[in-house]
Chains A and B, each alone.
Chain A
Amino acid sequence: MKTIALLMLLLSLNSYAETKVYDFKDPVLEQRYQGLTEELRCLVCQNQNIADSHAELAQDLRTKVYEMLMRGESDQQIIEYMINRYGDFVLYKPPLKSKTLILWLAPLLTVLLGGLGFWAVLRKRSQPQEHLSSVDKQRIKDLLDRTGE
């Protein structure tokens, strides 16, 4: 039993072997490294950030981020380096520009439109239903008058 457990442990360790892990002496740098690699998109497997991706390119980009951090470059400089080569696409959070305006405004517009529609429906419902003809009104009046006697 023990040997099986040990074997399983060893095998599972093996699957981590591919990702290079960087040793940071400075926890702040490590934090920044984590933040940056989570924010940058892998261009090969486009629905993953470079922190999660196993693609070779992601590893290269992680190495680049690490090297630049070690050289003491700022987050802004690293992000700019990536944008200059791969475009805004590398960012998971697209910048606010005229080209991306609709992307940023769409959620707000949807909520506004929905709210407007909701308000219109509510208003319609709370309005009294006054579609009675004068004949009907007379009849109601007569009935009420009769019960009042």
Chain B
Amino acid sequence: MRYLLPLGAFIVLVIFLGIGLKLDPKEVPSPLIGKPAPTFSLPQLHEPDKLFTPEQMKGKVWLLSVWASWCVSCRQEHVYLSEFARMGVAEVIGLNYKDEPEDGRQWLSQLGNPYVLSVIDKEGSAGLDWGVYGVPETFVIDKKGIIRHKQTGPVDPEIIQTIILPLVQTLNGEAG
């Protein structure tokens, strides 16, 4: 009986610390999920005189992938993202974040281009609007233009198989 109280307090403490260990402080839940995707109108990386806005994707399920040539983990996720793009379940649009357009184009011609198109966000203002704080980031947007998922950090086969692919398939089944 004497030890019950300290033991109880200890167990509660262990549970709290245990939960704390499992949490990833780098992963900040995005308030944008379930909200309409912020709009922008930016020049395309390969055809700078043409503009792209997210409205053009209305009626389609698509991914916005934030990348840059200076970003090391973008290189890491590139191969998996390319694999995903080849599956053809959803179009992937790139947002070339705070990058030199020339460097970005070179990066893509070297590694291959998984993107339907990329847009130039040299100042990072669109990125700021989308709440980007660490590249790479990947957003899943539904047919109505609502952000349904955000992946912070590089995507890997597990994330694609267990999160992105099932989500995209469900969203593809939804009415536009």
CB-contact partner of A56 in B26, B30, B98, under 8 A: B98
* Interface residue SS majority, chain B: loop
Whether A87 lies near B98 (C-beta < 8 A) is no
Residues of B near A84 (CB, < 8 A) are 31-32
Residues of B near A57 (CB, < 8 A) are 133
Whether B134 lies near A86 (C-beta < 8 A) is no
Most A C-beta atoms less than 10 A away, residue of B32, B98, B128? B128
**Least Cβ distance of B122 to chain A in Å?**
12
Whether B29 lies near A87 (C-beta < 8 A) is yes
A85 part of interface (Cβ distance < 8 Å): yes
Tell me, in angstroms, the Cα distance from A134 to B29 when the chains sit together: 70
Residues of B near A86 (CB, < 8 A) are 28, 30-31, 131, 133
A78 part of interface (Cβ distance < 8 Å): no
Q: Known: A85-B31, A87-B28, A87-B31. Contact between A44 and B131, CB under 8 A?
A: no
Tell me, in angstroms, the Cα distance from A61 to B128 when the chains sit together: 8
Indicate with 1 or 0, residue by residue over A88-99, a CB within 8 angstroms of chain B CB atoms.
110000000000
Q: Known: A46-B25, A60-B128. Contact between A87 and B30, CB under 8 A?
A: yes
B115 part of interface (Cβ distance < 8 Å): no
Indicate with 1 or 0, residue by residue over A104-133, a CB within 8 angstroms of chain B CB atoms.
000000000000000000000000000000
Tell me, in angstroms, the Cα distance from A110 to B32 when the chains sit together: 35
Indicate with 1 or 0, residue by residue over B101-131, a CB within 8 angstroms of chain A CB atoms.
0000000000000000000000010001111
Whether B30 lies near A44 (C-beta < 8 A) is no
Tell me, in angstroms, the Cα distance from A83 to B31 when the chains sit together: 8
Whether A85 lies near B134 (C-beta < 8 A) is no
Which chain A residue has the least Cβ–Cβ distance from B127? A60
**Least Cβ distance of A87 to chain B in Å?**
4
CB-contact partner of B128 in A64, A83, A87, A89, under 8 A: A64
Whether A89 lies near B28 (C-beta < 8 A) is yes
Most A C-beta atoms less than 10 A away, residue of B26, B32, B133? B133
**Least Cβ distance of B20 to chain A in Å?**
13
Indicate with 1 or 0, residue by residue over B125-153, a CB within 8 angstroms of chain A CB atoms.
00011110110000000000000000000
* 5 shortest interchain CB distances as A-B pairs: A85-B131, A43-B133, A87-B31, A89-B28, A86-B131
New contact pairs (5) apart from A43-B134, A85-B31, A86-B31, CB-CB < 8 Å: A46-B25, A56-B98, A60-B124, A85-B128, A87-B31
